[in-house]
Homo-oligomer: A and B are copies of this chain.
Amino acid sequence: MEYFYICGKRGMASKTKENYIKALFYLHQKNEEISLSDLGAELKVSKPTANDMVKKLKAEGIVVSERYKPIKITAKGKKLAATVIRKHRLSEMFLSQIMKFGWEEVHEIAEELEHIKTGKLFDRMDEILGFPTTDPHGSPIPDKNGNFNKREYRRLSEMPVGSTLIIKALRDSSAEFLQYLNKKSIKLGTKISVEHVEHFDGSYTIAYNGISNRVFGKSICDRLLVEEV
């Protein structure tokens, strides 16, 4: 006998599905075509598990996929992803600006908040925050229609000696990296000037906050997104 299994309203994506959709969206940004292995790795699940879910998402029109072929996210999938990412980033901004959490603390909490169904919670956050366009790590907050107003920033590691720059966003928002930046007093908006580039190892010598001669390795400069003043 059939009965309806209710996880919230009918047709609504579960927390698990939402996490898959988000992962698919992030992977698609790096590479149009998504592999099952990457999807599994991203979500820390086995390939058969990821495969099963891809079949379900395919049936719902969220991805297209054929046997042995890479997965592609559909327009519907991207829109769903955007609504979850919107909830995530508005939450991070709210936690940071209104509740005074550090930018290294907000992601973990937002990872849970993003699955809350009641949309007006996020609309109210949006309103209280004054309709922000970026999250505390400089990533864009999609609008209610799922459109990202994506700014194309350059990596600090690409910029020449003599540049005067502002830190606009991060390519890594892990708590570890953010704690490192805290220690170095680097924030979004910090103005820096490139004093020297060591071409041998890609390290940068920069000045900021009135102090010069500060050295950062290539891997750090690769993670910092900047804009010319």
Residues of A within 8 A of B (CB): 95, 98-101, 105, 108-109, 112-113, 116-118, 120-121, 124-125, 128
Q: Which residues of chain B come closer than 8 Å to A98, judged between CB atoms? A: 98
Closest approach, in angstroms, between the C-beta of A108 and any C-beta of chain B? 6
Asked if B117 and A101 sit within 8 Å, CB to CB, the answer is no
Q: Which residues of chain B come closer than 8 Å to A125, judged between CB atoms? A: 99
Identical copies of this chain, number: 2
Most buried by B among A95, A101, A108, A121: A121
Q: Which of B105, B116, B128 contacts A99 (CB 8 A)?
A: B128
Q: Which residues of chain B come closer than 8 Å to A99, judged between CB atoms? A: 121, 124-125, 128
Closest approach, in angstroms, between the C-beta of A37 and any C-beta of chain B? 20
Q: Which residues of chain B come closer than 8 Å to A121, judged between CB atoms? A: 95, 99, 109
Q: Which residues of chain B come closer than 8 Å to A109, judged between CB atoms? A: 116, 118, 121
Closest approach, in angstroms, between the C-beta of A113 and any C-beta of chain B? 7
Closest approach, in angstroms, between the C-beta of A217 and any C-beta of chain B? 32
Q: Which of B105, B112, B118, B128 contacts A108 (CB 8 A)?
A: B118
User: Can you give 17 A-B contacts (C-beta < 8 A)?
Assistant: A95-B121, A98-B98, A99-B121, A99-B124, A99-B125, A99-B128, A100-B124, A101-B124, A105-B120, A108-B118, A109-B116, A109-B118, A109-B121, A112-B116, A112-B117, A112-B118, A113-B116
Q: Which residues of chain B come closer than 8 Å to A101, judged between CB atoms? A: 124
Q: Which residues of chain B come closer than 8 Å to A105, judged between CB atoms? A: 120
Give CA–CA (A117, B110) in the complex, Å. Answer: 11
Give CA–CA (A8, B125) in the complex, Å. Answer: 26
Give CA–CA (A82, B128) in the complex, Å. Answer: 30
